Structure 1
């Protein structure tokens, strides 16, 4: 059996910069072939639609138009990337790690922008056709740390020169980002309402990146055993310890230290390690 694992959460929680590259490294050290991708995008046509979405967002496109575009890109992604790797019934013993999937559309265009959920569901029926994630990790900031952590992460991101996509969702005010997280935390209830056989885990993304990675990897452990029953918590912990010398881990530690320098200048206390 293969696995589709999706990483969800609000902006600046470390989906693409921390969790996805780290989990890929961990899974591959456990001997499991792993592909990472993102939505919208993941294919040449999908990336074109990604740029179209951001352009239409600036032009004031309706939420329903955006939801339709996201789902069209999702179908292309499924047909050209995900299903060829995992199989129609996820029969291949591999993993796809995905930066955003259908839950993002449910939150941004549905709960936040007001597209009725029955319309969101109709789009999913047309384009996703029941190809649900096996596990969804929702990265979040604890409520009492949200303002400080979000401000720090956004300030750090704004100082980087890595040509990251900047869009109107990123630039929403703090209150909207907090409200968005509240909506994200409703994702398990939405899935339950629609009788979807899915698993969700919350990961505290305000921690040191190494702790975030460890929590995310351990949340995946029961699912890794489905593919490779020899994977154990001991092996996973040993792998995580060994990988602290990995270039990615050192880079993340460097980023964390840089963020603490910014935090000091902004009088923001350090997040809990």
Structure 2
């Protein structure tokens, strides 16, 4: 196997799939080996990204699909320039909670913006950078619904994006599975209803194999 040069791993999947937990567990494993790890989220991480995240999620904003797409891409540009590229230059591990695949799924498949346009904008905003490995945590849409309701029981704020995409969970899941079939060499599909420890162990074995650790 040819050695992968960029230590960039993205985590994708429907809401409630367990991305945050698995990123935290992988970060701990890598840091225990003495590795530098940078965790990012989309949209977010940078000052601009976090501001845009609040706008995108705020229930008082009614955004057109194209405006929504441009805000995601603007956040991505800053993330690449301020965090990801500098991290790569230092040979740090980059663990991303969502990246360009999410844009294809949510703004493309669900919102209906042509995928060719999104792919061009993704490439421009990300300077052509793609994850070397994408972990796709797959859960049934019914499971996603239950996890969202359980998680949101203690929340006091409303998430516009989550609310608007809640009725599209089945479509979102299938869109991710289709992307994984298109790029099987990059995607690693994991059944996300297993225990967090079991999933973490499987991810770690995959990471060790791909990056020759």
TM-score tier after normalising by the smaller chain length: 0.7 to 0.9
TM-score, normalised by the number of residues in structure 2: 0.88
Q: Which residue of 2 aligns with 1:36?
A: 39
**Structure with larger Rg:** 1
Q: Which residue of 2 aligns with 1:45?
A: 48
From 143, 147, 152, give the equivalent of 1:158. Answer: 152
From 154, 169, 186, give the equivalent of 1:199. Answer: 186
Partners of 2:129 and 2:173 in 1: CA distance: 24
Contact 2:110 2:168 (8 Å CA) reproduced: no
Q: Which residue of 2 aligns with 1:2?
A: 6
Decide whether aligned partners of structure 1 residues 151 and 40 sit closer, same or farther in structure 2, where only a CA change above 3 A counts: closer
Partners of 1:9 and 1:139 in 2: CA distance: 5
Q: Which residue of 2 aligns with 1:96?
A: 94
Q: Which residue of 2 aligns with 1:134?
A: 132
Deviation at 1:32, TM superposition (A): 1.9
Quick one: higher RCO (CA 8 Å, sep 6+), 1 or 2?
2
Q: Which residue of 2 aligns with 1:110?
A: 108
CA deviation vs aligned residue, 1:192-251 (integer Å, no higher than 9, x gap): 8xxxxx6110111111111121122222122332xxxxx3xxxxxxxxxxxxxxxxxxxx
Deviation at 1:13, TM superposition (A): 0.7
Decide whether aligned partners of structure 1 residues 174 and 39 sit closer, same or farther in structure 2, where only a CA change above 3 A counts: closer
Question: How many corresponding residue pairs?
Answer: 209
Q: Which residue of 1 aligns with 2:70?
A: 68
Counterpart mapping for 1:1-273 below 5 A: 1-16=5-20, 18-55=21-58, 58-87=60-89, 92-141=90-139, 143=140, 146-147=141-142, 149-160=143-154, 166-172=158-164, 176-191=168-183, 199-225=186-212, 231=213
Partners of 2:183 and 2:127 in 1: CA distance: 15
Structure 2: stretches of 5+ with no match in the other structure? none
Deviation at 1:189, TM superposition (A): 4.3
The CA RMSD measured in Å over matched residues stands at 2.2
Partners of 1:59 and 1:30 in 2: CA distance: 44
Decide whether aligned partners of structure 1 residues 126 and 152 sit closer, same or farther in structure 2, where only a CA change above 3 A counts: closer
Partners of 1:151 and 1:105 in 2: CA distance: 21
- Dislocated runs of 4+, deviation >6 Å: none
Partners of 1:26 and 1:60 in 2: CA distance: 41
